[in-house]
Amino acid sequence: MLDAPPEPDVLAIGRDLAAALPGSSRHPLKVLDDRAMDLASQDAELRAALFRFVDVVPACRDLDDLARHLTGFLDEVPDRPPPLQVAMRMGATKAGRSALGAASAAGVKHMAHRFIVGETPKDATGVLEGLWKDGVGTSVDLLGEATVTAAEADRYAARCHEALDGLHEVYRRLPARPRLEADSFGEIPRENLSVKVSALTPLLRPDAPERGKRDAAPRLRDLLRHAREVGAHLHIDMESFDSREAVTDLVLELLSEDEFRDGPSAGLVLQAYLRDSPDLADRIIAWASAAGRAHPLVVRLVKGAYWDHEVVEARQHGWESPVFEVKAESDRNFEALTRRLLDARGAVRPAIASHNLRSVAHAVAANRSIGAPDGDVEFQVLRGLGDDLQQALAARGLRVRTYCPVGDLVAGMAYLVRRLLENTSNESFLAEQASGASIDKLLAAP
C-alpha cells in the first residue's frame, strides 16, 4: 500500500484550502442557519427536542398543532436559551400559537431548502446549471419515504428513470467543463444519479438477503440500462450495516453481467467507520481489477452516516459494534483506505466524500505524492453542509461533485434530521470548525 504522504504537505494543502473558504459574510442567510445549528449543538437535550420536532412536522394538522408539539418538546428541556423562553410564552395563547406555528414551519422549510435543491428534478435545474457553471458537478438523489410495498418500489424506480432523462436534458445543453468531464482514464459522464437499494425493494432484510437482492435486481438492471442509454453515471448509496452485504453483492453481480461490460459508468460506497472495511476494499479492488469493464468502478469513500444507529443496534443485541467507537480510528482508517484506493486507480476511480479538511487535504497530498494529476481524484460534498468546502475545492482547481437531494420537503424530513444530526454531533469536524478551533487543531493527524 502507498506510504502516508509527508505531513508538511498535508498541512500546507489544508491551509491553502482553508484560505480559499468563502467568508460567511457573503451569505447573510447562512449566518442565520449557522446560529440555529450552534444553538442545537450546545445542548444535547435541546438538540433532541428540536429533532423530535422536525420529525413530527409532516404529521401536524395545522399551525396550532405545530406550536403545541414544539412547546411540548421544549418543555422537556431544562435550560432553555432566551429565544426559546419567548417561544414557550407564545405557546400559552391561541394567537401566539398560530404565530409560533407559522414561524416554526417557515424555519423548518428554510432549513430544508438548505439541504434539498428542489421538489422535482425540473425545479432543481437552476441549481444544477449554476453549479456546473461554477465548475462543480452533481449527483442527484431522489428523496422518498420508506418503501414498504412493491408499488412504491416501482414508483421510485420510475422516478429515477425519469430523472435520468431530466438530467440528460439539463446537462446536454451546458458548456464544456474539461476538468469535470475526464480524468487520465477517460471520460466522466456529466449526468450522475445516486440511488438507494432499500427504495428499490420492500424486501431488503438482514435475515433474507437473497430475497431482497432478487426483488431489487430487475429494477436496478432497468436503471443501469437506461443510464447507459443516456450516458449517465449511476451510483448506488450504502445504508446501514445490515444491508451492506446484500447491496455490495447485488451491485457487483449486476455489473459482472455481459450486457454492462461497456457501460454505464457505475459506482458504490465504502464506509470507513466499519471495522471490516479494509477487507471489503480488497474485495472491491480485486473485483474491479478482474472485471474488465470499460469504465473504472467509482468507489465513493465515506466515513458512514449511520454511526448512532449501528452503536445502539449492536448494544441492544449484545453484539460487538461493527463500527469503530473512537472517532480518530474512523479518521485514520479513512486515510488508509484513501491510499488503498489511490493505489488501485485505473481499476477504480476514488471519490473522497468528506467535509473534513484534514481528510480532504490528506487525499490531495497522497494523490500528488504518487505523481498523479489532481484530476484523477474526485471530491464529493453534501449540498448544504459542504457548500464552503465545495467552493474552496473548485477555486483550487480540484474536481468536486455535490450530492444534491431532490424531493418533497415533507417526505425529506428524515433526511433533514440525519443531516442536522451529523452537523451538530459534538465530534463532527463541522461542529469543531464552527466552534472556532484553530487551523492547527483542525488539520492535526488523527
Ligand X SMILES: Cc1cc2nc3c(=O)[nH]c(=O)nc-3n(C[C@H](O)[C@H](O)[C@H](O)COP(=O)(O)OP(=O)(O)OC[C@H]3O[C@@H](n4cnc5c(N)ncnc54)[C@H](O)[C@@H]3O)c2cc1C
Q: Which residues bind ligand X (CB under 6 A)?
A: 237-238, 269, 271, 273, 300, 302-307, 324-327, 329-330, 353-356, 359, 380-382, 386, 403, 422, 427-429
What's the min distance (Å) between Cβ of 115 and ligand X?
12
Report the residue number, 60 or 421, with the smaller CB distance to ligand X: 421
- For residue 342, the minimal CB distance to ligand X (Å) is 17
Beta carbon of residue 201, minimum distance to ligand X (angstroms, whole number) = 17
Q: Between vectors from CA 195 to CA 189 and to CA 200, what angle results, nearest 5°?
A: 140
Q: Are 143 and 121 in contact (CB under 8 A)?
A: no
Q: Which is nearer to ligand X, 73 or 156 (CB)?
A: 156
Choose between 227 and 382: whose C-beta lies nearer to ligand X.
382
Instruction: Report in angstroms how near the CB of residue 105 gets to ligand X at its nearest.
Output: 28
Cα distances from 26 to residues 30, 35, 223, 316, 434, in angstroms, run: 9, 15, 40, 46, 17
Give the separation between CA 235 and CA 233, rounded to whole angstroms: 6
- Closer of 112 and 247 to ligand X (Cβ): 247
Residue number with CB closer to ligand X (100 or 357):
357
For ligand X, give the closer residue by CB, 183 or 237: 237
Least distance between ligand X and beta carbon 328 (Å):
8
Cβ-based nearer residue to ligand X, 53 or 324: 324
The contacts of residue 8 (CB under 8 Å, 6+ apart) are: none
Least distance in Å: CB of 366 to ligand X?
16
Of 260 and 403, the one with the shorter C-beta distance to ligand X is 403
